[in-house]
Structure 1
Amino acid sequence: MPADHSSSTTPSGITPSSIHTTINHLITALVTIRDPTGTFLLPLPDGRIIDTKGWHDWEWTHGIGLYGIWQYYTLTRNPAHLALIEDWFAARFAAGGTTKNINTMAVFLTLAYVYEETKNPVYLPWLDSWAEWAYYDLPRTRYGGMQHITYLEENRGQLWDDTLMMTVLPLAKIGLVLGRKRYVEEAKRQFLLHVRYLGDVRTGLFFHGWEFNADVEGKDGGKGGVGGHHFAEARWARGNSWVTVAIPEFLELLREGNAEDPVLESFLQGTLREQCEALRPLQDPKTGLWRTLLDVSEEEGSYLEASATAGFAFGVLKGLRKRDLVGPEREKLEEMAVRAVKGVLANVSEEGELLNTSFGTGMGRDLQHYKDIPVTSMPYGQAMAIMALVEYARRFI
């Protein structure tokens, strides 16, 4: 896109120049956010301290941050943004990497795209070793689901909707870039497993997590059966938004990588459509945002949350643009997404920070857990806002 962005307005009244100005503010804040109080540091038992808020560390927060910058780079082809991404990887690799888990795998979605473009041989062994770990060595739940292991928790037998974004998409993209079909097929299986166990057929939304009961005996004498639970039965907004983001991203990967699967595509398109239609009546009419617990009211303590709103806006707009969302509801879904984009824009501060972003959220055993999560600017909030605005630009500008 040319540097001298038009000042003409889009159908929703947002000017192209304002979108690019806001995105650049968001990127600047993304790479300069600090945690001077240490409130959001993550101490590990081995003595390491992971800075989840600042830019110069390695966690899922940075993985999503990198992907937001990559999304904007693909729109503008500004070499400064590619350099920003590559500099992050160079520094992290020079420091020796980090522990492999579901969340730290997130950065490799961006790296796979960067390697595909640059063919920098330095990146190849990192992509290879981490993907092999995810395929072979990442702990699995019953029936082979990816266990949501993190820096601090093993989470034995647990499936989280976050996993689709943090590990499944990177594995699929690496498989396509390196020509390893087994990774792509495993990613397909993971999508099916996560939809099966996390989807709420009553509402069309998704629960945050599922845990298999460890004491259910199978007919073969081993642990089997489908006994388990959805913890607090939380239909958590950002967790739902990972699904909204991941489905159209995954379907695009399969198409572009000549790995189409018509049956899976139809299934995931239907899943996405059902979820998006369920989101419509839950959007706050005044702000365009959704609440951190989608179906819990403000009076009951569920606050408005901007990062999930950005994720929903991105996924819906991309689903519409790629024709993954079809049918008579398309116009209403587009109106919903545009209201969400306006809500995101209204929550970007003068300093370029996305306000009303909930902090990283572990699995809750009760709904109060989600209501108590603090609000603070984070790299993923910045990136999700960038992604929403980039997708808005692709659709309307």
Structure 2
Amino acid sequence: MKQTLKDLTRKSVFLLMMLLACSGIFAKSKTKWAVNPELPMSVRMCQSEIIRNPEGWMLDFSTKLKWNYCHGLECQAFLDVYDRYGGDYLYKYVKQFADTMINENGRIYGYKKTNYNLDHVNSGKILFRLYEREKDPRYKIAMDTLRAQLASQPRTSDGGFWHKKIYPYQMWLDGIYMGSPFYAQYAATFNEPEDFADVVSQFLIIAKHTYDKKTGLYRHAWDEIKALPWSDLKTGQAPHVWGRALGWYMMAIVDALDFIPENQPGRDKMILILNDLVKILPKYQDQRTGAWYQVVDMPEREGNYLEMSCTPMYAYAIAKGVRKGYLPEKSLSIAQKAYQGILDNFIVVDDKGIVSLTRICGVAGLGGRKPYRDGSFDYYVNEIVRDNDPKGVAPFIMLCLEMER
């Protein structure tokens, strides 16, 4: 008799929880699994997410298999926690996801190169650590597949990657995070130093085209041909500074810098961009909670709200930037204020110790689908808001690791 998806899921939950119980990671009550409140917050959040999503493909509220940037984002955070604290269950969880999505020939389930979707590159970052440990050629083939996409990714006239094939001549801040850290790590890992110039150029091209002189921040996206209703007829820019888009960009800077050689031309300009942003962001930081708003530069506008993906993203980028020497030590207080504000105002812990992060924007974009995403203020503040979205949870885990240092 064929097993249903529900039967398989129940079995996987049972087996996973038995494994974790035997390893002493979780305590078991009469009714449900519990998280030890004495563990570091980064570990507690990982465990809470595994309770909610017993298999990696279930992340991002998924009901079917998909190779999605959110899965890779959160699995990357799990590996970061594993590298710091250990816990084989974390490594096995990520490996199981990779092995579910990549077949014996190294083919990625559901992936199509000719879509030229930068979002699909991000999850490839988890494969570097798996390949280093396992030496499984499937992982290398999958990484090579994603690198081949970048080799032929459509570009703007000045060399910037299109965000997706379906968004021609558009660069989004989101896309810099999706593609460039993987690009930099691949170049460093597989000794392709000639690619670093192109990696750096992606950061500088989009900075030039999305910079908002009025605020000193960066708009969500840029349309080179100014053809879309959301794009400004003079600049091609999107109308607003969306919190998470700017967060993607800041995280991309500090993560890509891990791999870009110090003598690479343009690297210093990336660090300067980061410093300039960190000088400006406190102006828009909520004084009571330390958080930032969904539309960053309009904190007083009715309908705007404090948002829990951009807030941990900024704080993580700042904290890591200080640790790595890109930012002055005094900047750390900005991240510390945000971190404590998250813990005090946006974290909920139930009676079993299971941790939830609240007030996360579920999705936002430009154009594309129906109803049309016009990039207006009303659009951004009326998209779905939910708890435990991986786009907030993963940066929060990474922020926790920085704070726990």
Conservation of the 8 A alpha-carbon contact between 1:30 and 1:379: no
1:22 paired with 2:16, answer no
Deviation at 1:18, TM superposition (A): 6.3
Give the partner amino acid of 1:130. L
2:62 maps to 1:54:
yes
Which of 80, 87, 110 aligns to 1:71? It is: 80
Give, in whole Å, the separation in 2 of the partners of 1:284 and 1:316.
16
Aligned to 1:210, the other structure's residue is in SS state: strand
Amino acid at match of 2:359: N
Partner of 2:180: 168
Aligned twin of 2:302: 300
* 1-structure distance, mates of 2:61, 2:290: 26
Aligned counterparts of 1:32 and 1:261: Cα–Cα separation in 2? 45
Q: Which residue of 2 aligns with 1:382?
A: 393
Q: CA deviation at 1:279?
A: 0.5
Q: Secondary structure at the match of 1:253?
A: coil
8 Å CA contact 2:176–2:252 kept in 1: the answer is yes
Contact 1:288 1:343 in 2 (8 A): yes
Residues of 2 paired with 1:157 and 1:373: CA distance? Answer: 25
Equivalent residue number for residue 347 of structure 2:
348
Q: What residue identity is the alignment partner of 1:87? A: Q
Distance change >3 Å, CA 298–CA 355, structure 1 → 2: farther
1:52 is displaced (CA, Å) by 4.2
**Residue in structure 2 matched with residue 337 of structure 1 by the alignment:** 335
One-letter code aligned to 1:245: M
By how many angstroms is 1:228 displaced?
4.0
**d(CA) in 1 for partners of 2:76, 2:38:** 18
1:192-203 matches, within 5 Å, as 192-203=204-215
Name structure 2 gaps, 5 residues minimum: 1-22, 25-35, 228-232, 367-373
Summarize deviations over 1:46-65 as a string: whole Å, max 9, x none: xxxx9842385321211211
| Residue 130 of structure 1 pairs with residue 130 of structure 2 | no
Show the counterpart of 1:289: 291
TM-score (norm 2): 0.78
User: Equivalent residue of 1:103, what SS?
Assistant: helix
- The residue number in structure 2 matching 1:261 is 263
What is the deviation of 1:260? 2.6
Q: Secondary structure at the match of 1:287?
A: coil
**Larger RCO: Structure 1 or Structure 2 (Cα < 8 Å, ≥ 6 residues apart)?**
1
Which of 119, 122, 132 aligns to 1:103? It is: 119
Q: CA deviation at 1:20?
A: 4.0
What SS class does the counterpart of residue 313 from structure 1 fall into? helix
Offset at residue 390 of structure 1 (A): 0.7
Change over 3 Å in CA distance of 1:97–1:338 after alignment to 2: same
Across the aligned residues of Structure 1 and Structure 2, the Cα RMSD in angstroms comes to: 2.6
Gapped runs of 5+ residues in structure 1? Answer: 5-16, 35-49, 216-225
Task: Give the aligned partner of residue 313 of structure 2.
Answer: 311
Q: Which runs of 4+ in 1 moved over 6 A?
A: none
* Structure 2 CA distance for aligned equivalents of residues 235 and 20 of structure 1: 36
- Does residue 1:80 correspond to 2:89, yes or no? yes
How far did 1:170 drift? 0.9
Report sequence identity in percent: 23
d(CA) in 1 for partners of 2:95, 2:123: 11
Whether contact under 8 Å (2:69, 2:121) holds in the other structure is yes
Q: Which amino acid aligns with 1:307?
A: S
Counterpart residue number, 2:376: 366
User: Is 1:235 matched with 2:246?
Assistant: no
Q: How does 1:83-232 map to 2 (within 5 A)?
A: 83-94=92-103, 96-100=109-113, 101-136=117-152, 138-149=153-164, 154-213=166-225, 228-232=235-239
2: CA distance between counterparts of 1:111 and 1:308? Answer: 26
